Amino acid sequence: MDCSLERSNIGLTRDVGSIKRVKRVFPKVLGTAGDAFRVYVGGRSAIDSAVTYSGPFTFTIGTDYKIDCRVSGRYISLRFETSVTNNWRLSGFDLEFEQAGTR
């Protein structure tokens, strides 16, 4: 069975008008070593516009601790997908980002 989780419209700062550039995602996934997830990182410039996703970036439990990406937007979205049959839990994630201006 395929499973997906999505977190949309993450502002990252109080200044929602600024452009943010996400450089790394650190998923906090507990599960069986070797199970893989597909991670998509997206951005949008307005709250009512469509999300443009980059990826998939592969994250393997027990091997990887982060994914590297270059995604910009005012609002950031994350999507995690997997087809594993073992039990797993996503307890959160950290993002490394920088402010890239106020276009």
Q: What is the pLDDT of residues 72-89, one digit of tens each?
A: 999 999 999 999 888 999
- Residue 101 CB neighbour total at 10 angstroms: 9
Of the candidates 57, 67, 64, which has an alpha carbon nearest to the alpha carbon of residue 25?
Answer: 67
Q: Which CATH topology does 3-101 take?
A: Jelly Rolls (2.60.120)
pLDDT band at 46 (very low <50, low <70, confident <90, very high): confident
Q: What is the pLDDT of residue 15?
A: 78
> Is pLDDT above 70 for 103?
no
Token representation of residue 68: 């590297």
What's the burial of 81, exposed, middle or buried (CB within 10 Å: 0-12/13-18/19+)? middle
The Cα–Cα gap between 98 and 12 comes to 10
Sorted by where each begins, the domain ranges of the chain are 3-101
Q: Which residue has the tokens 């996934």?
A: 29
pTM for the full model?
A: 0.88
Q: What is the pLDDT of residue 36?
A: 93
What was the pLDDT predicted at 65? 95
